[in-house]
Amino acid sequence: MNKYEFNSRRRELMDMIGKGSIAILPTAPQRIRNRDALYPYRADSDFYYLTGFPEPEAVAVLIPERTQGEYLLFCRERNPEKETWDGRRAGLEGACEVYGADDAFPITDLDDILPGLLENCQRIYYPMGVYADFDSQVVGWINQLRERSRAGVHAPSALVSLDHLLHDMRLYKSDAELDLMRRAAEISVNAHKRAMQTCRAGMYEYQLEAEILYEFNRGGSRSPAYASIVGGGENGCILHYVENNCVLKDGDLVLIDAGAEFEHYAADITRTFPVNGRFSPAQKQVYEIVLAAQAAAIATICPNTHWNEPHEAAVRVLTAGLRDIGLLSGNLESLISEESYKRFYMHRTGHWLGMDVHDVGDYKIEAEWRLLEPGMVMTVEPGLYIPASQDIDSCWWNIGIRIEDDVLVTAEGCEVLTAAMPKTVADIEQLMAGE
């Protein structure tokens, strides 16, 4: 992503909040995994979206029309000794020269400098309630100004959540963002293909996960966008199964939900396939229902469709399919309106996708579902999960299937960013047979 894009995002936000406002954004803290071991560092998405600055311990400040500079970055100073231990830092100079800040200050001076910047501002925009320490820091700065009220200092009178403005910007992806999302999708497709090609009965789920992670890293992704789900047999019916520690059995399906993060953008793909490379008749029947539901959902996606239409389309096909195979009985409209399908389909059909796998952006505008517009990216991920149960014919037991693709809304309709990933029964069986 080039630095002009970050600059134009800051400009757009500053134009929206206007003179008299200040926006303050901290990045995410480093998190301890255990004792001296840290989790791999990942910047806060909102912060990174506006700055492109990848280091921890940083706060961005935007003050529209401030003559001495509108964009200030607080960050770590250069320190040769610390850098020898913990890695390179941009320092104050890098913050300005590489990351485009008008001025940069040591993060250790934040409490000294920030109250002065708040003087004469009427409104503070910040990510309210995201980082508890930061929330109390903001209140502390305001109280410092209030204590000086008899000296004529005005504390800002409004605290405003940044979410609404910033998250609406993030919902519409630019061409540069879509380039990165296409790369994340391509890497993820290669990983899922590799998993299909290497899967054998007797492997552990984590060994299949290793094939996915290998391909992510090899392709230039430095991290999965979320914990990969590799669930064989009944584990495929656990929606957020991440233990991935069971043996894959001949005759079972395996469900893999895994997506690469590429330069802070996520892909999110699910495929379900037979461990031994051939779908059984029952598996195939259920698979075809889910596949048809996904096709029906994707077919609704175009500008001016409302957010819930793909879900409604998927639910209709899934419910009809469940009735066709005898897992539900009764009138189709009643089964839908009474939500009888929820026993086998208990989640929604998608979510926004972007820097965060469950990306930001409102799904409703006041009481109405949002209308889709070009540039929005969403997942389409219907599924059916059939547990072992006395009232269900055992031929369906432990069939858990989800099929998930990433879809961009375009002016003409939509584009499936993950279309290169096989998903018909024939294409999957062919790939697994090495043909």
Q: Is 240 a catalytic residue?
A: yes
Of positions 268, 309, 356, 405, contacts Mn ion by CB under 5 A: 268
Single out the catalytic residue among 88, 164, 222, 358.
Answer: 358
Task: Fill in the per-residue mask, 206 to 245: x = in contact with Mn ion (CB under 5 A), - = not in contact.
Answer: ----------------------------------------
Of positions 211, 359, 381, 406, contacts ligand GLY by CB under 6 A: 381
**Contact status, residue 384 vs residue 289, Cβ threshold 8 Å:** yes
**Contact status, residue 257 vs residue 239, Cβ threshold 8 Å:** no
Q: What does 226 interact with, of ligand GLY, Mn ion, none (CB < 5 to 8 A by kind)?
A: ligand GLY
User: Which residue lies nearer to Mn ion by CB, 91 or 400?
Assistant: 400
Distance CA 270, CA 35 (A): 34
Q: Is 48 a catalytic residue?
A: no
Rounded least distance, CB 266 to ligand GLY, Å: 9
Q: Is 385 a catalytic residue?
A: yes
CA distances from 303 to 293, 306, 377, 410 (A): 20, 8, 12, 7
**Contact status, residue 134 vs residue 105, Cβ threshold 8 Å:** no
Rounded least distance, CB 48 to ligand GLY, Å: 20
User: Which residue lies nearer to Mn ion by CB, 124 or 377?
Assistant: 377
Report the b/e string of 129-155 with b at 16+ CB within 10 A: ebbeebeebbeebbebbeeeeeeebeb
DSSP state for residue 235 in the 8-state scheme = G
Q: What does 121 interact with, of ligand GLY, Mn ion, none (CB < 5 to 8 A by kind)?
A: none
User: Which of the residues 181 through 240 are near ligand GLY (CB under 6 A)?
Assistant: 226
Task: Fill in the per-residue mask, 389 to 418: x = in contact with ligand GLY (CB under 6 A), - = not in contact.
Answer: ---------------x--------------
**Contact status, residue 186 vs residue 219, Cβ threshold 8 Å:** yes
Of positions 205, 257, 359, 429, contacts ligand GLY by CB under 6 A: 257
Q: 270 - beta bridge partners?
A: 257, 404
Single out the catalytic residue among 404, 405, 406, 429.
Answer: 404
User: Which residue lies nearer to ligand GLY by CB, 252 or 406?
Assistant: 406
Q: Is 36 a catalytic residue?
A: yes
Single out the catalytic residue among 186, 257, 405, 429.
Answer: 257
Of positions 138, 195, 357, 372, contacts ligand GLY by CB under 6 A: 357
Q: Is 404 a catalytic residue?
A: yes
Q: What is the dihedral of CA 383, 387, 391, 394, to 10 degrees?
A: 100
Binding to Mn ion by residue 177, rule CB under 5 A?
no
The sheet that has 377-380: what strands, in order across it? 377-380, 405-409, 414-416
User: Which residue lies nearer to ligand GLY by CB, 44 or 268?
Assistant: 268
The two tokens of residue 142 are 């305001």
Task: Fill in the per-residue mask, 340 to 379: x = in contact with Mn ion (CB under 5 A), - = not in contact.
Answer: ---------------------------------------x
Binding to ligand GLY by residue 46, rule CB under 6 A?
no
Residue spans of alpha helices (H) in 107-239: 110-118, 132-147, 163-171, 175-198, 205-218
Rounded least distance, CB 404 to ligand GLY, Å: 6
DSSP codes joined into one string, 161-195: ESHHHHHHHHHS--HHHHHHHHHHHHHHHHHHHHH
Inter-residue long-range contacts of 419-424, CB under 8 Å, 24+ positions, other chains counted: 420/185, 420/186, 420/189, 421/188, 421/189, 421/192, 421/193, 421/269, 421/271, 422/193, 422/196, 422/271, 423/271, 423/291, 423/294, 424/291
Q: Which residue has 């935007």 as its token pair?
A: 62
Helix (H) or strand (E) holding 6: helix 3-17
Single out the catalytic residue among 347, 362, 370, 415.
Answer: 347
Q: Is 343 a catalytic residue?
A: no
Of positions 215, 261, 268, 429, contacts ligand GLY by CB under 6 A: 268
Single out the catalytic residue among 345, 402, 406, 429.
Answer: 402
Helix (H) or strand (E) holding 323: helix 309-324
Footprint on this chain of ligand GLY (rule: CB under 6 A): 226, 257, 268, 351, 357, 381, 404
Give me the active site residues, please.
36, 240, 257, 268, 347, 351, 358, 381, 385, 402, 404
Footprint on this chain of Mn ion (rule: CB under 5 A): 257, 268, 270, 379, 404
